[in-house]
Structure 1
Amino acid sequence: MLPPAQRLPQARELIEMDRYFVLHAPRQSGKTTALRTLASELTAESDIAALMFSCERAKSAGDDYAAAEEILLKSLRQATEWAGWPDELLPPHPWLRAPAGTRFGSALTEWCHRCPRRVVLFLDEIDALQGNSLVSILSQLRDGHNARPGGQPFPTSVVLCGLRDLRDYKVASGGDPGRSNPAGPFNIIRKSLRLGDFTADQIAELYGQHTQATGQEFAKDAVDRVFELTQGQPWLVNAIADETISEMRLTGTIGAGQVEDAKERLIRQRATHLDTLAARLREPRVERVIEPIMAGTWPDTDTSFDDDVSYAHDLGLIRGTRDLEIANPIYREVLLRVLGHRTERFVKTDPHSFVLPDGRFDLPRLLREFVVFWREHGEVLIRQEGYHEAACQIILMAFLHRLANGGGYLDREYAAGTKRLDVLVRWPYTSPEGERLMQREAMELKVWRAGEHDPTPDGLAQLDRYLDRLTLSTGVLVIFDRRPEAPPWKERGGFEQVTTPSDRDVTVLRV
């Protein structure tokens, strides 16, 4: 693991300043591990008794704030026992009795009155608290914080750790989300801390620890590929390494090819982290953000859209809150695969029939087969697809995945406002001389919507730039016609050969 001080450079400084603040990050980003280590270091090095405990068990209490208080105090006491602290640092036993709605704050006051050290609390999984229980706990923390100047003992620093950003806790504790008010515990800093993803150097450092311990190396191209695929998402970084070592049981130096194989295995297995992420796609507020990204359109914004964007960002689905992009290439692939699962069940063609005698992939035949598939199933599948604006892209991606992914790879690029989805099919094969080669086929997907001009000229220019970046001389432009005046379904699927502005030969498919 990476040292917590390296990932949370501001946390110790804020604690030393007796601040109350929020630390948030998507699930499985390393928050719990970092805080547990930081708490141990603070307790061992200073006059602080720093404790991390989880609020997760209090989720069952729902709005019953009395039950939530009881569960939290039990969790807190258990955490102190597991920490192995001396008796003088332990909280009172039993806890002080107090009316429901005040018991948690009263217990903290009594503990801080007895403890010879400054008490610092890390409330992990604070998002588990719901409704009135969350409001009650936050209100008691706010009241205790505000009473400290009058001499009331209370934790000198409290860190709320979860998925949510600062704004949500300000609202829940009765504060104004847009103002910074030093009197309120969740208004002390205008911006909460976000545990960031790993940098490329941090991935190299993390994998280097494995090399030091075992002698097994990750080649530089492997580390670079891991960063490219994950963009430093901590769970993915660790999962790819674990897949190569523990599941694939590779013993020599691990290269980029093995990283690619590990990525494919993780996606096929739908590991818990990826499955949990994918389950969010059907939430209405997530769909409002992800659908225009997949469709390449600009979303219809209203006053609540920014909140939905922040929510998707806090979940780790998107990279930032300004440029709407999926967080990393693995998530880009997983999301399209999940949404295209229904379509894949309709694809009955044998994937092996698309392999040519020389081992290459027969893309022209695949496109012809897609026309047949589209005429037969396209109208029904579009009606069934919840992501209606992105339905065409999802269906073609599912078709490609079903037929090309048995021996090759699909790389997808899409983002809000681009009005396209770029696809690269990579197909490994062996030359007659025994040389390992990689066939690459580039495609661009465009949608012709009602009231718009024919997107072909823009599509050819965009495909030209994509081919230039890939150093390819040919490509495919697919135009989905979703206008009311589009030809009947049984007549769709015309091919034509055209040239791009840079005189590249391109196949245009209109469906």
Structure 2
Amino acid sequence: MLPPTPRLPEARALIEMDRYFVVHAPRQTGKTTALEALASELTAEGDIAALMFSCERAKSAGDDYAAAEEILLKSLRQAAEWSGWPEELLPPDSCPQAPAGTRFDSALTEWCRRSPRRVVLLMDEIDGLQGNSMVSILSQLRDGHNSRPKGRPFPASVVLCGLRDVRDYKVACGGDADRSNPISPFNIVTKSLRLGDFTAGQIGELYGQHTEATGQEFTEDAVGRVFELTQGQPWLVNALAHEIIIEMGVTGAVTAGQVDEAKERLIRARATHLDALVARLHEPRVKRVMEPVVAGSFPEVDPTFSDALSYVRDLGLVKQKPPLEVANPIYREVVLRVLGDPAEQYVMADPRSFVMRDGRFDLERLLREFVVFWREHGEVLIQQENYHEAACQIILMAYLHRLVNGGGQLDREYAAGTKRLDVLVRWPYAGPDGERLVQREALELKVWRAGKEDPLAEGLAQLDGYLDRLSLTTGVLVIFDRRPEAPPWNRRGAFDLATTPSGRQVTVLRA
């Protein structure tokens, strides 16, 4: 484990200034670990009683803020008892006799009045509070915060820790995320800190600890591949190492190829973290951001789009900074697999039948078979697809995944505004002398939309650049016709040859 507190360097300074602030990051990034370590360090120094407790159990209270108060106060007391603190530092062991909606405030006041130290409160899983319960608790914190200059005992610093940034708490409480409101419980928040992902150097440091403890090394290429696949997402970094060492039982030096195998195993197993993430894909705010990312189109931006984008970034699904694209290659693959799963159930072809005698994959035959599939099922599948704008890309990806994934791999590249989806098929096979070879086939997917020009010329230029980057001499351009005047479904699927601007001969499929 990396030292947790250096990942939040500003937190200690804000606490020393008696500030109230937010720490947010996606799930499984180390928020709880970092804040627990910070609380322990502060308490051990002797001047502060820093207590971290979870609000998660209060989720069951819903809008019942009286019940939420009771649950939080019990959780608060339990956390203090489990910390091993002496009696004089513990919060009250019974709920105060006060009206509902003021009991949390009253209990904190009584605790701070009795405590010989400054009290710092770190409220983890603050997202667990719902509706009126969230409004009540945060409003009580605001009231106590503002009464401190008048001599009222109250926590010197409060840290709200969860998935979301302050903007989303404002929305949850019925406020406008973009407007200042003097009575909002959020006008006391000084700053919002986001716990960042690991750097490549930190991954090397983390894995280096394993090497020191066991002697098992991670090659430089393996560490680089982990960073490339995860972009430093902490849960993924740890999960890949666990998969390699524990589940796969690798005992020698870990290689980049084993990292790739572990990635495939994680995705197939749909580990809890990945399942929790993709479960969000059909939420309206998430879909509004993710659909143009998958389709390669520009999102429709209006005054509410920034809130949706902020929410999706807080979930960790997309990168924190432009361009708008999925946060890392593992998430990128999982998103398309999940969205394409319904369409994949329609694919009846046998994957083994596409393996040629020399062991290579028959992409030409796959495309011909796809045309038959598209004519028969395309119209129905498009109508059923929730991500309607990206339906064509999702369906072809599902078809490819069903037939390629048994023996090969698919690498997918897509982002909002690119107007395309790039796919690389990697198929390992044995050469004439038994040597291990890898067949690579590149495809680019475009959509011809109503009112737009034929994307053939643009697609050829884009495919040219993709092939140049991959050092390939040929590829496939697939153009889906979504115009009202498109040919009837039983006449779609024409193949043609075309030349890219640099002179490469490529196949064009008009679906």
Q: TM-score, normalised by structure 1?
A: 0.97
* In 2: Cα distance, 1:411 partner to 1:346 partner: 22
Q: Deviations over 1:364-388 (max 9, x none)?
A: 1111111111111111111110111
* In 2: Cα distance, 1:253 partner to 1:275 partner: 30
- Cα drift, residue 164 of structure 1: 1.1
Q: Deviations over 1:130-172 (max 9, x none)?
A: 0110000000000110011111111101000001102233566
AA matched with 1:63: D
* In 2: Cα distance, 1:176 partner to 1:46 partner: 41
- What is the match of residue 282 of structure 1? 282
- What is the match of residue 102 of structure 1? 102
Give the 3-state SS of the residue equivalent to 2:487 in structure 1.
Answer: coil
> What aligned pairs does 1:260-339 form with structure 2 within 5 A after superposition?
260-320=260-320, 322-339=322-339
* In 2: Cα distance, 1:187 partner to 1:401 partner: 49
- Cα drift, residue 358 of structure 1: 1.4
AA matched with 2:116: P
- What is the match of residue 442 of structure 2? 442
AA matched with 1:218: F
- What is the match of residue 379 of structure 1? 379
> What aligned pairs does 1:10-29 form with structure 2 within 5 A after superposition?
10-29=10-29
Structure 1 427/387 Cα, relative in aligned 2: closer, same or farther at 3 Å? same
Q: Deviations over 1:103-134 (max 9, x none)?
A: 00110010011111111111000011001100
Do 1:19 and 1:157's aligned partners in 2 also have CA atoms closer than 8 Å?
Answer: yes
- Cα drift, residue 413 of structure 1: 0.5
* In 1: Cα distance, 2:170 partner to 2:289 partner: 24
* In 2: Cα distance, 1:24 partner to 1:412 partner: 29
Give the 3-state SS of the residue equivalent to 1:473 in structure 2.
Answer: coil
- Cα drift, residue 92 of structure 1: 2.3
Q: TM-score, normalised by structure 2?
A: 0.97
- Cα drift, residue 178 of structure 1: 4.3
Give the 3-state SS of the residue equivalent to 1:282 in structure 2.
Answer: coil
Do 1:179 and 1:187's aligned partners in 2 also have CA atoms closer than 8 Å?
Answer: no
Aligned residues: 511
Do 1:445 and 1:478's aligned partners in 2 also have CA atoms closer than 8 Å?
Answer: yes
Q: Deviations over 1:423-464 (max 9, x none)?
A: 011111111212211111111000001111000000000011
> What aligned pairs does 1:336-351 form with structure 2 within 5 A after superposition?
336-351=336-351
- What is the match of residue 423 of structure 2? 423
> What aligned pairs does 1:219-258 form with structure 2 within 5 A after superposition?
219-258=219-258
* In 1: Cα distance, 2:258 partner to 2:271 partner: 18
Give the 3-state SS of the residue equivalent to 2:281 in structure 1.
Answer: helix
Do 2:112 and 2:153's aligned partners in 1 also have CA atoms closer than 8 Å?
Answer: yes
Q: Equivalent pairs: percent with the same residue?
A: 77
Structure 1 182/300 Cα, relative in aligned 2: closer, same or farther at 3 Å? closer
Give the 3-state SS of the residue equivalent to 1:273 in structure 2.
Answer: helix
Moved over 6 A (4+): 173-176, 179-185
Structure 1 53/189 Cα, relative in aligned 2: closer, same or farther at 3 Å? closer
Q: Which moved further from structure 2: 305-314 or 395-404?
A: 305-314
AA matched with 1:498: A
* In 2: Cα distance, 1:191 partner to 1:86 partner: 32
* In 1: Cα distance, 2:215 partner to 2:181 partner: 53
- Cα drift, residue 177 of structure 1: 4.3
- Cα drift, residue 174 of structure 1: 8.4
- What is the match of residue 52 of structure 1? 52
Give the 3-state SS of the residue equivalent to 1:383 in structure 2.
Answer: helix
Do 1:145 and 1:185's aligned partners in 2 also have CA atoms closer than 8 Å?
Answer: no
* In 2: Cα distance, 1:351 partner to 1:307 partner: 43
Do 2:64 and 2:132's aligned partners in 1 also have CA atoms closer than 8 Å?
Answer: yes
Structure 1 336/174 Cα, relative in aligned 2: closer, same or farther at 3 Å? closer
Give the 3-state SS of the residue equivalent to 2:96 in structure 1.
Answer: coil
- What is the match of residue 35 of structure 2? 35
- Cα drift, residue 186 of structure 1: 3.4
- What is the match of residue 363 of structure 2? 363
Structure 1 181/8 Cα, relative in aligned 2: closer, same or farther at 3 Å? farther
Is 2:161 aligned against 1:161? yes
Give the 3-state SS of the residue equivalent to 2:475 in structure 1.
Answer: strand
AA matched with 1:109: T
Q: Which moved further from structure 2: 188-197 or 223-232?
A: 188-197
- Cα drift, residue 322 of structure 1: 4.2
- Cα drift, residue 191 of structure 1: 4.5
- Cα drift, residue 340 of structure 1: 0.6
- Cα drift, residue 64 of structure 1: 0.6
* In 2: Cα distance, 1:492 partner to 1:23 partner: 53
AA matched with 2:504: R
- What is the match of residue 196 of structure 1? 196
Do 1:142 and 1:173's aligned partners in 2 also have CA atoms closer than 8 Å?
Answer: no
* In 2: Cα distance, 1:169 partner to 1:381 partner: 38
Structure 1 254/68 Cα, relative in aligned 2: closer, same or farther at 3 Å? same
Structure 1 150/179 Cα, relative in aligned 2: closer, same or farther at 3 Å? farther
* In 1: Cα distance, 2:397 partner to 2:38 partner: 44
Give the gaps of 5 or more residues in structure 2: none
